[in-house]
Structure 1
Amino acid sequence: MKALRWIVGLGTLLIAAGAFTLSFGKLHTIGEIAGYGDKSWIYPSIVEGFVTLCTLAAFLRHGQRGAWYPWLVGLAGFSYSLWANAVPESVPVEVVRAIPVMCIPLSVHMFIIIAGLVDQMAQRAAEMKAMEAEAEADEASEGFGFFDEATPEDFAPDDNAPVSPAPEGQTPVIETVPDGQPVKVTRTRKVRTSLASRETYLQLARDAKTDEKRAQWLRMADVAAGN
């Protein structure tokens, strides 16, 4: 499987390199026609580089609100590249010269989108890691309480004797044991739940190894969506 991946990756790289080389020649030609002279080699890099940048932004933003924007801009850039390669002599000089100017603000905007999406992915990965660690800790401690040692004298022998209330979130359980033996007082753990984003819980559900865990994360996703 790894060998197949390498073969497909190498083939894709060769196709992209060959296509860029051929497209480079056509775009270089219309750059010369537009009067860029010895700087005409920059023109193909601008056009094809911008289309690649838009494709990356669209891929990272896929499934999110506003994903149509990088797709639309990238499609416009691709259409221009297709036009310039298919019928280069029909492209007006004014359009050729306008492309680099338009790419300046649009490429900066695409970079801002990509940077923001990368930060979101890093934050989501950190949240998922923390949630998984918390879930593993809960599983490891499930069914166990925290035990303190006490003597029988600490508790009244009959039901009418006063018993001090336990702290909030803790319930004392008094067991009947022979005299002189310690009594175990079980305190229930007070679980504090912090909600992450709905997308984080959905990702955890997709990565869950058991149906029980998957159902748990889906319920948490519903709770997060309600908040």
Structure 2
Amino acid sequence: MSVRQPAWGWAVVTAATGTVLIGIGAFWLSFMALADLAARSGIAPGQAWIWPLLVDGLIVVSTIAVVALDGRRGAWYPWALLICGALVSVAANALHAIVAADASVPAMLAATV
């Protein structure tokens, strides 16, 4: 006698696809904002692209390490890197929004967006 599995495969595929698409969009927006912020901060435009890869790449790598080291003694280190990387990314994206925003948009609104 076989046990019928629930028909939730479509939900998992939809959720996974949505997660990937949202991740790509978020990475692209963050990449563009951080590269522009780096260029505005004096880093040569030909080199400014590396800043978002370092910041957001740290988030990706530390997330993978957190999952891989789940429950192990050394898991605190990738968690610390993940938290620090996320804080730097969010802060830098918010600062970029404030610097690059149109004068008619309040700074706090720009940073929130």
- TM norm structure 2: 0.72
Mark the runs of 5 or more structure 2 residues left unpaired by the alignment: 1-7, 99-113
Task: Name the structure, 1 or 2, with higher relative contact order (CA <8 Å, separation 6+).
Answer: 2
Structure 1 residue 88: Cα displacement: 3.0
In the alignment, the residues of structure 2 paired with residue 35 and residue 67 of structure 1 have an alpha-carbon distance, to the nearest angstrom, of: 34
Q: Between Structure 1 and Structure 2, whose CA radius of gyration is higher?
A: 1
Q: Give the distance between the partners of 1:42 and 1:14, measured in 2 at CA.
A: 22
Matched residue, 2:92: 84
What amino acid is aligned across from residue 75 of structure 1 in structure 2?
I
Equivalent position to 2:9, from 2, 22, 31: 2
Q: Cα offset for 1:89?
A: 8.1
- More helix by proportion, 1 or 2? 2
TM-score (norm 1): 0.37
Cα deviations by residue, 1:28-85 (Å, 9 ceiling, x for unpaired)? 1122123222222222122111111011101111111121111011111110011100
Which residues of 2 match residues 46-85 of structure 1 at below 5 A?
46-85=54-93
Q: Mark the runs of 5 or more structure 1 residues left unpaired by the alignment.
A: 91-227
Give the alignment of 1:16-165 within 5 angstroms. Answer: 16-33=23-40, 34-88=42-96
1-structure distance, mates of 2:10, 2:43: 47
Code of the residue aligned with 1:35 in structure 2: it is I
* Structure whose residues are more often strand by fraction: 1
